Structure 1
Amino acid sequence: MKKKSIIFVIDSLDCAGAEKSLVTLLSLLDYSTYSVDLMLFSHGNILEELVPEDVKILKPLEYTKFTHLNFKKAIKYSIKKRDLKMLYSRLKYSVQLRKKQYNNRQKSRLFWESVSSVIEANPKKYDIAISYAQGVPTFYVAEKIKAKRKLAWVNVSYRLEEKEKQFQKDYYDKFDSIVAVSESTKKVFLETFPEYANVIKVVYDINNPAFIRKMADIGIGFQDNFNGLKILTIGRLAPQKGYDIALAACEKLIEAGIHFRWYALGKGPLQEEIENKIKERGLSDHFILLGVEANPYPFIKGADIYVQTSKFEGFGLAIAEARMLNVPVVTTEFDAVYNQMVQRKNGLVVDMNAEAVGNGIIELIQNKQLKEEIISYLRNEKKGNTEELAKFYELVNYNESVS
């Protein structure tokens, strides 16, 4: 039987929620039935080593390679090729970015408006093409890939201003199905695009407890021999993750006399700013940036409390991973939080401010009975959701199921 061809497109395999979700999905696919290509806009990131050997990671686009040249080499390359189009597109995007501060949605539009004409299309025709993230992967799949069916994943609470909505609608119109990673993500998306109500489905980020437990038992976790309370947060060093809340809550714990260290796994655009705030506030002994790890699970397993200070999430994959390793959770009340949190059963959901986060942590420390009840609940609650794989198969086999 001929294998069904699938291509996944995502920005990169850096260590973040959508990326970990995709790696988990790829680890579960039946490669006797599916032939899978993976296209990235950024190569050499940490989760690539976890991609199954059956998956073919495509070579970088010519424009991707061009952007890695310094400006002097880029000019020489363009002159040698007698083609200034890529150089002009790169300069156009760079100039646009300097005009003002843009959010990620706006940057995606500016990038595609500037460079799409010089990005080559994929020459192969696929049975299924999947953009596994919003923005550029969605634009690329819509415009540059030929496929019998196209699926667009939405894994954040996707609110768009009118200009971005009008720009992106032309691309979403080219997809057969849109996939939200939670009911709340679907609700928010439909607030912007109610016209897609008949084609949007919900497939939760797949997490595999057997894989996570195995990974938690190998590799290396905390190495500093600290004997106090270990708090862990995982998330990009970006505005949506609420590190401003985390740092202020850290100060509250110090004031309360708690013997603790708060560790953060992640990197991102706010790294320098967060590092400076840690120094300015005298938190260097208490708030520790660990960078990124391909295998974060030994750190989760070694933590006493997992804390998420996000301002919005599509699902909250790191919370699910902490739950699978029976680590009590304190989290802010973002849109999708109750897709997996049961208040005061598997953790505490608190208001989105430092006072509430700090109080939640202190309550778990001081109320030992509550903490033990939460751990007991975690040990017995349903682990993982690999049954979501059946929903994925239903989507990619849709034509067969209705024929």
Structure 2
Amino acid sequence: MIKKKKILIRIGSLRHGGAEKVLINFLKNIPPDKYEIDLLLNLYSGIYIKEVPSWINLYYLIKGEMITTNRPKDIPIKALRVLYEKMFLWFPFLLYRFILKNKKYDVEIAGIHGLYKEILSSPQKNSKKIIWVHNDIFSIRGYTPKIIRKFFRYDRILVISNKIRDGMYDLAQNEDEKTAVIKIFNPIDRNETLRKADVKIHNFPFTESLPTFISIGTIFPQKGYDRLLNVHKRLIDEGLKHQLLIIGDGYDFDTIQDQLNRLGIQETAKMFGFTSNPYPYLKKADFYVLSSRHEGFPTVIAEALIFHKPVSATDVSGIRDLLQDGRLGNITTNSEEGIYEGMKKFLTDKSVAEEYKKRIEQSELPFTLEKSVQHLQEIIDYI
């Protein structure tokens, strides 16, 4: 009988984020006869909790909904949560004794970069340590080269784009540190994505007679929706008729909705809010537009390619990998002007979009579920 490898994975919550979705895809597709996995959440919250396979042992520090506001009545609760989590960081033996029941692990994984301290503080010094970096940490405030250098204390650093990998290489001080950095594509379940899209929708907010751009993501400043609305207004004023649908929720939702109202574009731009299944809307739209200021690996672009949608995206981490340096989609400068030029190109020259569609249909996309899951298993097995 093969001895199962004991693995601890830590992540903040299982809310509707890219890293969380990637982790769930991985857990749903690895063989339970090979691994014994404990999944530890800081906050027991999020839509993906119900998708955690039954054979995974689920632990948590706090149970409750995520608090995304700074209302006076919420501040004491947020402060208590922070202190409670910090206690386990300062005194990790308490976590491993009372929450994890003194279990010993072969591998410990930080599911996101924000938990790098937590895994490094583990009292189990003989376990192998892996960190999974889903964001462009070189663009995130507070992540100085000195801080990022701490990641090299991990046995393996998983990154999701050439840009992040090259940045880590620049910080590496020897070949062993470079070897620890491994690029891995986020696993995308193509069949499930197509299946979820095959649902009739009765609340599509636009007429089908005009070209429609769609953008999907959490509503916060990183995503650049403020820039996107300005560009949409500018194109409408120039007589280039089109529609814009933004799907997502987040702490910046009201700010972006207020901007939309101030610009007077309520008839042609819609903030749709969060939906657990955005794929029917993605399937129905004509183009995908990414206006982000920075990303790690924008999984939604991979999903847009599955539907053969022409993409116009700002030049952020992961985009050149996904769009094959511009062969499969339009890569623009990371600016409001760049977003404008990219959308205008699709609206003024139909042949551009058709050429992208043709190339996508003829390409073998590298981020298949099977390939990514196999790669991750190999990393865990042979670390």
Q: Which of 156, 163, 183 pairs up with 1:184?
A: 163
Residues of 2 paired with 1:167 and 1:225: CA distance?
Answer: 47
Residue 131 (1) aligns with residue 113 (2)? no
In the TM superposition, residue 145 of structure 1 has moved relative to its aligned partner by 6.5
- Amino acid aligned to 2:57: K
C-alpha separation in 2, matches of 1:72 and 1:267: 22
> Per-residue deviation at 1:150?
1.4
Contact 2:156 2:181 survives alignment (8 Å): yes
In structure 2, give the amino acid aligned to 1:54. Answer: W
How much has 1:236 moved relative to structure 2? 1.8
Rate the CA distance shift 1:260–1:221 in 2: closer, same or farther, 3 A: farther
* Maintained 8 Å contact 1:6/1:127: yes
Q: TM-score, normalised by structure 1?
A: 0.80
Residue matched to 1:90: 79
Partner secondary structure for residue 331 of structure 1 = strand
Partners of 1:286 and 1:73 in 2: CA distance: 36
Check the 8 A contact 1:66/1:74 in 2, yes or no.
no
1:239: Cα distance to partner? 2.0
How do 1:289-328 and structure 2 match up within 5 A?
289-328=271-310
Structure 2 Cα separation of the partners of residues 219 and 283 of structure 1 = 27
The yes-or-no answer on 1:20 pairing with 2:21 is yes
What SS class does the counterpart of residue 61 from structure 1 fall into?
strand
| The one of 358, 361, 364 aligned to 1:376 | 358
- How far does the alpha carbon of each residue in 1:198-254 deviate from its partner, in whole angstroms, 9 at most, with x for none? 321111212122222122224748533532322111222222211122111111221
Structure 2 counterparts to residues 1-400 of structure 1, below 5 A: 1-58=2-59, 60-62=60-62, 90=79, 116-117=89-90, 120-122=94-96, 123=100, 124-135=103-114, 137-144=115-122, 146=124, 148-159=127-138, 165-166=145-146, 169=149, 172=151, 174-192=153-171, 194=173, 196-218=177-199, 220=201, 222-224=203-205, 226-227=207-208, 228-342=210-324, 345-383=327-365, 384-385=367-368, 386-399=370-383
Give the aligned residue type for 1:153. Answer: W
Offset, 1:74: 11
Checking the alignment, whether the CA contact within 8 Å between 2:288 and 2:304 is kept in structure 1 is yes
User: Residues of 1 paired with 2:219 and 2:152: CA distance?
Assistant: 33
- Structure 1's unaligned 5+ residue stretches are 76-86, 95-110
**3-state secondary structure, aligned to 1:28:** coil
Q: Is the 8 A contact 2:149 2:171 kept in 1?
A: no
Structure 2 alignment gaps of length 5 or more: none
Displacement after TM superposition at 1:336 (Å): 3.0
Tell me how many residue pairs correspond in the alignment: 366
CA–CA distance in structure 1, aligned partners of residues 173 and 301 of structure 2 = 29
Aligned equivalents of 1:16, 1:48: Cα separation in 2: 12
CA distance in 1, matches of 2:248, 2:66: 24
CA contact (8 A) 1:308 1:330 kept: yes
Over 3 Å counting, the alpha-carbon distance change for 1:174 and 1:145 in structure 2 is farther
Mark the CA change 1:144 to 1:265 in structure 2 (over 3 Å): closer, same or farther.
farther
State the distance in 1 between where 2:342 and 2:24 align: 32
Q: Which moved more, 1:196-205 or 1:302-311?
A: 196-205
Residues 112 and 134 of structure 2 are in contact (CA less than 8 Å); yes or no, is this contact kept in structure 1?
yes
Give yes or no for contact 1:46–1:293 (8 Å, CA) kept in 2: no
| 3-state SS, counterpart of residue 179 of structure 2 | coil
Q: Aligned pair in 2 of structure 1 residues 219, 155: CA closer, same or farther (>3 Å)?
A: farther
Amino acid aligned to 1:375 = K
Residues 163 and 319 of structure 1: CA distance in aligned 2, closer, same or farther (over 3 Å): closer
SS at the partner of 2:13?
Answer: coil
Moved more, 278-287 or 125-134: 278-287
Identity %: 23
Give how far 1:26 is off. Answer: 1.8
Look up the equivalent residue of 2:131 and give its one-letter code: A
User: Residue 397 of structure 1: CA displacement?
Assistant: 0.6
Cα distance change on mapping 1:290 and 1:398 into 2, 3 Å: same
What's the CA shift for 1:153? Answer: 0.8
CA displacement 1:159-204 (0-9 Å, x = unmatched): 277885545655x354211111122111223445556323211112
Q: C-alpha distance in 2, partners of 1:320/1:361?
A: 19
Bigger mean CA offset, 247-256 vs 340-349: 340-349
- The 8 Å contact of residues 92 and 114 in structure 1, kept in 2 or not, is answered as no
SS in 2 for 1:184: helix
Q: How far 1:367 sits from its partner (Å)?
A: 1.7
The CA distance in 1 between the partners of 2:123 and 2:283, in whole Å, is 41
Structure 1 Cα separation of the partners of residues 244 and 206 of structure 2? 14
TM-score (norm 2): 0.83
Which amino acid is the alignment partner of residue 53 of structure 1?
S
